[in-house]
Structure formats: C-alpha cells, structure tokens
Amino acid sequence: MAKRKNVKSGKKPGTPLEKAAAEYREQPVQKDATEEMTAEISAAEPKVTEVAADEPSTAKIVEDSPAVAKETCVPPRRSVAFIGSECYPFVKTGGLGDVMYALPKELAKQNCDVKVILPRYKCIPWEYQTKMIFRGGFQMDLCADGRSFHVAIMEYVWDGVVYDFIDNEEFFSYGNPYTNLIDDIPRFCYFAKAALAALNYMDWIPDIIHCHDWQAALVPVYLRTQFVQTKLTTAKTILTIHNLRFQGIYDIPTIRYWSGLPDYVFNMGALKVGDRDANMLKGGLAYANFITTVSQTYAEEIQCAYYGETLDSHLRYHSGKLRGIVNGIDCDIWNPSTDARLYKNYDISNVLDKKKENKHRLQEELGLVQGDNKFVIGLISRLTNQKGLDLVNMILPQVMDEHTQFIVLGTGDRVYEDSFRYYENAYTGNVCSNIMYDETRAHRIYAGADALLVPSQFEPCGLTQLIAMHYGTIPIVRETGGLKDTVEPYNMYSNRGNGFTFDRYDAGLLLDAINRAKILYFEHRRCWDEMVQRDMDKNLSWENSAKQYRDLYLDLTR
C-alpha cells in the first residue's frame, strides 16, 4: 500500500480535495474533454515513474532488483484501483461480484498493487464489518448547489488486496446494493466522486483506475473535470462493461444536480441522450482512456443495434479503444476437490462416481425422485428476460419426461418466479424451483446436475457455464457473447467439444439442443463421460485473462 501523506482531519479546510476544488473553482473554462484526453495520451509521462518510485515496499523490492526481475520475468509493477459496486464475499448479486473479487486477487499475484474501492453497504456480513479499520474521513462537496457529504474510509486487507469501503449512512444504509434509480443515481454519483476523493485523501496515486459498470462510470468523467488539478490526473482510466443493459439513465437536471458536474459534460458526445436525459455509462465510455468488456464476441455484438442497447453508435465511435477480455473463475472458491459445500468432493479421476453421489444427495435434499436414470438439468440465474427464460417456459412441458428432472435456482421477475413455481406443482418430484439466492445450493447444483442451461438472449460473458464445466456439468447454451467464446459445440463426428449450443433465439432450437444432450447422455454414455472429463480439464482460471488486463495496463502506462 502506498504511503499516506497529508492526512488531515476531515473538517479542516486544506485536504487535497478541498485544495483541488478551490483551485478548480479559480480555473478558467475547462478544455473540451476529447482535447484533454488526446493531449494526455500523447504527452510523455515522467510522472508515472515518479509514482512507481513512491510505491509500497514490495514494489520497491521488485524494482530495486532488476536482476531478479529479469531472471524470473516479473513484469513491471503497476498500481491499480478497482472501483465497483459489488464484490464477493462482501456483497454479490451476480457475475460482477465474482470478477471484482477474483481479478484483483489474480493481478496481485502478477505483480500488481491492487486496491478495491467499494461502498460499505449495511448488508456486508458482520464478520467483515468488524475487521475493517478506520482510515480517515473528510467532508466532500457533491451537489451542484454545493451540498456536501461526509466520506469515511474503512479498510480491510485480505489475500494481498486492500479493500477500501466508502462509508456514508445516508447513501448505503439500505439492505441491498441496488434499490431503484431514484435512489441509485444519487448514491452512485456520490460513490464515484468519493472513490476518487478517497484516493486523493490517502495520497494513493494509482497508475490505472479500473472502473466497473455504470455505478462507477462517472469516475473517468470526474477525473478529467473536477480532479484534473489533482495528482490523480496522471492515472489512466479503464471502464469495463459487465452488462450494457444497465446504464444509469435519468433526466439531466437530476444527474447534473447530484453529480455537480459542469454543464459541458452534458453534451451528445458524452452524457446526454435524447432530448432531456443523461446516461452515466455513456459519459464514462467517452471519458475513459480505454473500454473493455467481458468477452470478444460481446465486444463485437454491442456495436450492433440488436445488442447495443441504444449505445451501439457511441461504441462504434469509440471502437478504437474497445476490446473484449473473457472472464475466468476463481479456482480456489470453485474447486470440486476442496469445495466444503459439496456432499462429496471429487476431481477428474473420480468424477464419474462421485458426481453420482452428489446427484443422489441433491435429489434427496430437494425432494426429487432419486435415481441414476434421471437426466438432471440445472439452471442458476437471475430470473430476468436476458436469461432466455421465455424459451425455457415455452418448451419445459416437452422437455419433461420420466427420465428428466429440472432444478432452477434464482430470484428476479415475478412472472418467471411464478411460472417456475407452477412447473414445480405440475411435475412434482421432477421439477424443483428454488426461488431464492443461496450460495450453498448453487454449489451443490453445479456438482449434482448433469447439464446446466444458459439459453440467454444476450450474455456478456456468463460465469455459470464456466463453473459448470469446471464441475463436470455439461453446459447447454445459446451462442452469444461469452457463451459462444467459452463453449465449443459438441461434434459427434470428431467427439470433441465442451457442450451443446444453438444459435438463433428460438425455442425449437433450444429444445433441439437439449434433446441432442439427452441422446448423448442416454445412448452414448462413454462420449458423454469423456466430455465431462474434458470440461473439467479445461483451463478456466483467471490467470490468462488477468495477464491480458495486466498487459493492457502496461500498454496504457508505458
């Protein structure tokens, strides 16, 4: 962790933020954002070296010993601040939480100095709350009328990663991270600015500020406007899109008031959309030095109208700084040979026997008819229309027969929750609808099911198919986004591939894919078993993807 300098009591004037804000107020009109960024990119950057020299002792060890670095091929060290709205195990609603945990951890192993900045929600388990230590606090101007809010920083260090939680009771006292836009817009305006102000306050100047989704999208905008006179301005920003559907759109007056951002960012090239709305994600995409998304296919798809969620032309315009890097999974958490939540642990050598035991125990726990001759299909998902549940609803009666069982785990839209409850009643003993969020149950389904269904309408990356493969459960997926990049379709002639796929968003094609899976399972079990082992053998860890992020950090800060 970088040294802390100039730490002052929050209430006194003269914190770096206040100085910067005062200087900022005295500035003449700011340059246009694009001009500023172009100048920045082309400028030589001695400051980055200065920052590296100011880094923590571990960084110095590596840099002071070039011989060692050369021998072991250690890449140059970079400091990275991750800013996002959720992170396992503190708070997780979906894949973003997994990535915010696993990627920093892997980057720390690859010679990056990583700090993760998160909101301190009330719902964070008490066991973590009690381990946090108070790093400092200060008052921060936020709104257009100068209304200010307190920012407290609570810190927790774990597995080589520093977690700094932004604490403010007014914004983060709800149980859940997301409530409704009317509350979420002010909350994440505050969070984006407070994250930068906290870095400034701690005098921790990262080489890279890596922001995630719309909740952190205003960070690059603040950095190039209100923080342009601070030391943080040397940092390069990356904005990762985990799901383009969520953008943080509200009317301009509301976002202008809560963000306190200058009028000129509310133009069509940055935040403005339509006649009267502002889009926080769109602004972040314009101001970030680089944009990534979580698979190569999704990076291409979102530049087309069908997947572009109305930002396709904006993304095409910025395509020169857009790239896809596929997610991995954390193989410490998702490891069937050590997973304490499983009934029976297993690895590739005994998967075929032990998976059967997991299946029996799962059937028993869920009140399903027990038996080896059942093909168990799992579905673990947020229950929203993105996930292709309309297709599932349409074909489930045709899928269900005396040899098939279906287990769903998820929460979300009422219409899907109710339809799965209906199917549970209609097929008692063979369908089980777990309308809940339950980590343990998820692990047991990954281990006990034969196949996992992911028929998404769109899927930026998707983690459930990766976890399934790692647990020897065959994915049945639609060829979109990361599903297309990670699941190679089974080829019956060459007996290769990792799962069953279909291309068009069509119920008939999904049914066909499930039937192909069933035929292989019941009639060519040896080929099925080989695929199970092949899937478990596939390298799905974060190592490769983290390397690509690290190389991107190096490229941006060379």
Which residues sit at the interface with ligand ADP, rule CB under 6 A? 94-96, 98, 243, 380-382, 409-411, 437-439, 442, 461-464
Residue 162 or 380: which CB sits closer to ligand ADP?
380
Residue 430 or 433: which CB sits closer to ligand ADP?
433
Residue 344 or 382: which CB sits closer to ligand ADP?
382
Closest distance to ligand ADP from the beta carbon of 199 (Å): 27
Residue 204 or 334: which CB sits closer to ligand ADP?
334
Residue closest to 345 by CA, chosen among 192, 435, 447, 232: 447
CA–CA dist 210, 307 (Å, integer): 24
Residue 35 or 439: which CB sits closer to ligand ADP?
439
Amino acid at 429: G
Residue 260 or 448: which CB sits closer to ligand ADP?
448
Residue 55 or 339: which CB sits closer to ligand ADP?
339
CA–CA dist 18, 253 (Å, integer): 25
User: What is the phi/psi pair of residue 298, to 5°?
Assistant: -65, -35
Beta-carbon contacts of 394 under 8 Å, excluding residues fewer than 6 positions away, are: 507
Closest distance to ligand ADP from the beta carbon of 458 (Å): 10
Largest CA distance in the chain: 77
Q: Are 193 and 223 in contact (CB under 8 A)?
A: no
Which residues lie across from 292 on neighbouring strands? 240, 323
Residue 381 or 430: which CB sits closer to ligand ADP?
381
Closest distance to ligand ADP from the beta carbon of 452 (Å): 10
Closest distance to ligand ADP from the beta carbon of 498 (Å): 16
Instruction: For residue 208, give the H/E element and its range.
Output: strand 208-212
Q: What are the distances in angstroms from CA 516 to CA 155, 491, 552?
A: 51, 11, 40
Residue 52 or 294: which CB sits closer to ligand ADP?
294
Closest distance to ligand ADP from the beta carbon of 281 (Å): 16
Q: Which residue is nearest to ligand ADP (CB)?
A: 95
Count of all residues that appear for the chain in the document? 558
Could you identify the residue written with the tokens 């002010």? 186
The b/e string for 456-477 (b: 16+ C-beta within 10 A; e otherwise) is bbbbbbbbbbbbbbbbbbbbbb
Question: What is the token pair recorded at 302?
Answer: 């979102």
Closest distance to ligand ADP from the beta carbon of 259 (Å): 26
Closest distance to ligand ADP from the beta carbon of 499 (Å): 14
Instruction: For residue 477, give the H/E element and its range.
Output: strand 474-478
Closest distance to ligand ADP from the beta carbon of 312 (Å): 20
CA–CA dist 246, 279 (Å, integer): 10
Sheet holding 272-273, edge to edge: 249-251, 277-279, 272-273
Sheet holding 451-454, edge to edge: 431-434, 404-409, 375-380, 451-454, 474-478, 500-502
Rg (CA), the chain: 25
Residue 382 or 524: which CB sits closer to ligand ADP?
382
Residue 8 or 382: which CB sits closer to ligand ADP?
382
Closest distance to ligand ADP from the beta carbon of 290 (Å): 22
CA–CA dist 206, 36 (Å, integer): 19
Question: What is the token pair recorded at 109?
Answer: 């192993």
Closest distance to ligand ADP from the beta carbon of 437 (Å): 4
Closest distance to ligand ADP from the beta carbon of 543 (Å): 19
Closest distance to ligand ADP from the beta carbon of 384 (Å): 8
Question: What is the token pair recorded at 348?
Answer: 């590739």
300: buried, middle or exposed (CB in 10 Å: 19+, 13-18, 0-12)?
middle
Q: What are the distances in angstroms from CA 277 to CA 270, 271, 304, 311?
A: 12, 8, 22, 14
Closest distance to ligand ADP from the beta carbon of 532 (Å): 19
Closest distance to ligand ADP from the beta carbon of 2 (Å): 32
Residue 119 or 206: which CB sits closer to ligand ADP?
119
Q: Are 30 and 170 in contact (CB under 8 A)?
A: no
Residue 336 or 462: which CB sits closer to ligand ADP?
462
Strands (E), 46-99: 78-83
177 cis-preceded (ω within 30 degrees of 0): no
**How many H-runs (helices) and E-runs (strands) does the chain carry?**
23, 18
Instruction: For residue 164, give the H/E element and its range.
Output: strand 161-167
Residue closest to 455 by CA, chosen among 478, 479, 439, 427: 478
Residue 442 or 514: which CB sits closer to ligand ADP?
442
